[in-house]
Amino acid sequence: MKMQLMTRSIGAPINRIDGIQKATGAAKYAYEYPVEGVVYLFPVQSTIARGRISAIDVSAAQALPGVITVLSHENAPRLAHLANTELEVLQTDAVAYNGQFVAAVIAETSEIARQAAELVVVHYEELPHHVELRADDKTLYKPPSVNEGHDVPDRFVGDVESALASAAVSLDQTYTTPTEHNNPLETHATIALWDNAGLTIYDSNQGSHAIRDTIATAFSLLPERIHIVTQYVGGGFGSKLFAHPPIILTVMAAQVTKRPVKLALTRQQMFSQTGYRTPTIQRIRLGADNHGHLTAIAHDVIEQTSTSYEFAEQVAVVTRRMYAAPNRRTTHRVARLDMPVPTYMRGPGECPGMFALESAMDELAIACGMDPIELRIRNEPTIDPETGYPFSSRGLVACLQEGARRFGWQQRDPTPRMRQEGRWLIGTGVASSTYPAYYYPASASVQVDHRGMYQVHIDATDIGTGARTALTQIAADVLDAPLEQVQLEIGNSDQPAAGYAGGSSGTSSWGWAIFNAANALHTKLQEECGGVIPAEGLSARGTFDTNPELQQFAIHSFGAQFAEVHINVDTGEIRVPRLLGVFAAGKIVNPKTAHSQFMGGMTWGLSMALHEASVLDTRYGNYVNHDFGGYHISTNADVGTIDVVWLEEDDLHVNPLGTKGIGEIGIVGTAAAIANAAFHATGIRVRDLPITLDKFL
Ligand code: MOS
């Protein structure tokens, strides 16, 4: 499929074109737009996990000077029914989770709104709740699908039980990961204003078009009447892919007050209002012959969803394609809890799934008396075991080998607890990494004026990844123009539709649409204008629907993660002075921003390994550590050296640009590499994230 593309800008490590705006504060984030006559919103949240509101007293709040109105289910405008009932904000007296919006104050200042919200008195009739994910839960069920309908929940190939029973070496272990909250640095923020043009929304999200459509449905509006502006976003990590209650509430408040309304969530509100990663309980069974050839892989996942909407993460799906075992079993079972709706977060599916699988592979290597890299190489499949398709490219072995060379793996004594310097035990570990190349439909328009200056429009979103820069580079090359002659406009739902900045799909999908638009412009120029740009300029549109090669090839990125950990003999304190990630992820558009993305992903892997966990209070169904004081993430002081390397990969099947997507693969496998290194250091296997010091004492 590949056309020969002259790459002048692609591959160049150019600085972010919006870097100066961002560093100087000139770049406007959603909450920062100056809007005349704006008023402020502050929500009131339920303090029970399940039940109904028996009475609500807003008189004290309403009486506070500066309060414009107080909304509750008693007076809120009616919304249309939505598939996700969590979005049906203030529509009933029912409470489905702790932290649900039960009222909201709109006031002249944010301080007044917040004070008044505390004066709202809500009485509840509480019902028994079910909030804790447990392996012995009798209500666990098989969801119709996982990954929002993209994958089947269960796959059975061959006879796993017999293969396990007769395996020379076998393993049966359970790995658990906690609830984690996405927590982008910029909390979810929205300004909504209604005027003659319809509804304008300044919003922090990962893709305006889908959110626009949800708002259109909720408020029974034509999508064309809604204009969402999303120029700069301070991170998303999955929590800003879909509409959540705060944007609905803000639009509703603007509708009721007929004033522009602003809402920025507090950090605490982020722990109940914007999704989270489900906790997982993962049982892995592996069987192998005496030479380390896998004969069976079983990966059974237990996870949670909510009563408001069924979101089931694809945790075991990755196991279907990783290794060449003839007998395979992957299942997902789900508990429907009185909790908020979980969502995608940082490498969903692959990230928690590979923690379990790659920890188990390390344990199997030890059981077989084999080097863990050799074990993986020995089980490298020649085709995708799941689909039977060849891989469009699969750089796993090359990444493992290159990583081993760079990391100094050869000198490693595999015996655990053999290296100690002072009071610190030292260990090293490795894990595989992978992430699918996802594609979502997108369209773009291209205009050229008589001076040869180009304008490209697409409703893509730069959530901090550098997409604005990478897409400009792509546009310049597909238009065969110098970078300076190309102006890219993104982040506005009035522009040609594009999928969200998620699933590491943006560069490939948006880039392909821009590629098609550039080709359409070129054709038009030749066929209609004889190759000469007319005085009034010329424009064309291009659309990308799907990658047809997905019907013939399995298209995924691969990588290898290496970690060195130091664990204090006396305190159990764990430090990770060195991480190395080697990736084979297609063409790299901008080495500078790509390096940051890989490094960022690995940093989140470190964070997942050592810090992140939302601690549930089962009495109330809320999280006790709902702020950055209690919910720890990796900071600069936690990060040592992170080396990022990628292998040149010229994949003819991914798209005309050769890109596979790099946003999420960096996190996948990192936690397993660290857990494996921790075992190597101490002889203690931690199968329950995060790896905290108490687990070594
Ligand atoms: Mo990513 S979790 O697809 O935003």
What tokens appear for 565 in the block? 């950990």
In a domain, 2, yes or no: no
- Whether residue 466 sits in one domain with residue 589: no
Segments forming the whole domain that contains residue 198: 33-128+185-235+240-273
- How do residues 63-74 score in pLDDT, each as one tens digit? 999 999 999 999
Q: Which of 512, 546, 580 is the last residue of a domain?
A: 546
DSSP three-state, residue 470:
helix
594/445 same-domain check: no
318 and 253 inside one domain:
no
Q: Is 80 exceeded by the pLDDT of residue 587?
A: yes
CA of 241 to the centre of ligand 1 (A): 7
Q: What is the pLDDT of residue 41?
A: 98
* 662 is a domain residue: yes
pLDDT in tens, 644-682: 999 999 999 999 999 999 999 999 999 999 999 999 999
Shortest-distance atom of ligand 1 to CA 238: 4
Over range 638-642, report the average pLDDT: 97
Q: What pLDDT was estimated at residue 3?
A: 54
Same domain (yes/no): 428, 535: no
- Cis amide leading into 372 (omega within 30): no
Query: Phi and psi of 240, rounded to 5°?
Result: -110, 20
Query: Ligand 1: which atom is nearest the Cα of residue 345?
Result: 2
Contact 442, 498 (CB under 8 A): yes
Q: Domain for residue 428, yes or no? A: yes
- Joined tokens for residue 306: 């909510």
Residue 142: inside a domain = no
Q: What is the CATH number of the domain that holds 43?
A: 3.90.1170.50
- Same domain for 286 and 210, yes or no, is no
The letter for the amino acid at 88 is: E
With beta carbons less than 8 A apart as the criterion, state whether 445 and 459 touch. no
Asked if residue 415 and residue 343 are part of one domain, the reply reads yes
Q: Does 628 reside within a domain?
A: yes
Ligand 1 pocket residue status of 274, Cβ below 6 Å: no
442 lines ligand 1 (CB under 6 A): no
151 within 8 A of 144, measured Cβ to Cβ: no
The two structure tokens encoding residue 193: 């204003």
- CB of 206 within 6 A of ligand 1: the answer is yes
Q: Is residue 5 in some structural domain? A: no
Torsion of CA 320, 324, 328, 331, to 10 degrees: -20
Q: Verify that 617 and 673 share a domain, yes or no.
A: yes
Tell me how many domains the chain contains.
Answer: 3
Distance 657 CA to ligand 1 centre (A): 22
Catalytic residues: 664
Q: Which of 182, 211, 233, 241 to mutate for ligand 1's pocket (most ligand atoms within 8 Å of CB)? A: 241
- Centre of ligand 1 to C-alpha 509, Å, is 15
147 close to ligand 1 (CB < 6 Angstrom): no
Distance in Å, CA 330 to ligand 1 centroid: 23
Q: Is 148 helix (H, G, I), strand (E, B) or coil?
A: coil
Closest among 413, 143, 192, 461 to 304, alpha carbons compared: 143
- 690 touches 279 (CB < 8 A): no
- Does residue 348 line the site of ligand 1, with CB under 6 A? yes
Tell which residue, 592, 602, 606, has the closest CA to residue 667: 602
Among candidate residues 511, 531, 546, the one where a domain is terminated: 546
Give residue 281 CA to ligand 1 midpoint distance, Å: 21
Q: How many CB atoms lie within 10 A of CB 382?
A: 9
For residue 457, pLDDT beyond 60: yes
The candidate with the shortest Cα–Cα distance to 305, out of 281, 349, 338, 274, is 338
Q: Which atom of ligand 1 is nearest to the CA of 182?
A: 2
Q: Are residues 510 and 498 in the same domain?
A: yes
pLDDT of res. 4: 60
Looking at the predicted structure, is the pLDDT value of residue 2 above 50? no
Average pLDDT, stretch 440-459?
Answer: 97
Residue of 603, 668, 678, 610 whose CA lies nearest to 641? 603
Q: Which residues contact 401 (CB under 8 A, 6 or more apart)?
A: 373, 377
Q: Which atom of ligand 1 is nearest to the CA of 346?
A: 2
User: pLDDT tens across 182-237, in order?
Assistant: 999 999 999 999 998 899 999 999 999 999 999 999 999 999 999 999 999 999 99
Vertex 624: Cα angle to 619 and 627 (nearest 5): 155
Rg (C-alpha) for the chain, rounded Å, is 26
Which atom of ligand 1 lies nearest, measured to the CA of 463?
4
Structural contact between residues 324 and 202, judged by C-beta atoms closer than 8 angstroms: no
- Rounded Cα distance between 649 and 358, Å, is 24
Do residues 409 and 315 both lie within one domain?
yes
> Is 644 domain-assigned?
yes
Residue 469, domain CATH? 3.30.365.10
Do residues 268 and 400 both lie within one domain? no
Ligand 1 neighbourhood includes 241 CB (under 6 angstroms): yes
Same domain, 253 and 324: no
d(CA 16, CA 562): 29
Instruction: Render 322-353 in DSSP notation, one character per residue.
Output: HS--SEEEEEEEEEEESSPPP---SSTTHHHH
Cβ(238) – ligand 1 distance below 6 Å: yes
Give yes or no for residue 184 CB within 6 A of ligand 1.
Answer: no
Average pLDDT, the chain: 97
Query: Would the pTM count as exceeding 0.95?
Result: yes
User: Which helix (H) or strand (E) element contains residue 190?
Assistant: strand 189-195
For residues 581 and 671, membership in a common domain is answered with yes
User: Would the CA dihedral through 267, 273, 276, 280 be positive or negative?
Assistant: positive
**Number of Cβ within a 10 Å radius of residue 172:** 12
| pLDDT over threshold 60, residue 576 | yes
Query: Is residue 69 in some structural domain?
Result: yes
Of the residues 531, 546, 561, the one at which a domain ends: 546
Tens-place pLDDT, residues 462-520: 999 999 999 999 999 999 999 999 999 999 999 999 999 999 999 999 999 999 999 99
The protein residue whose alpha carbon is closest to atom 4 in ligand 1 is 238
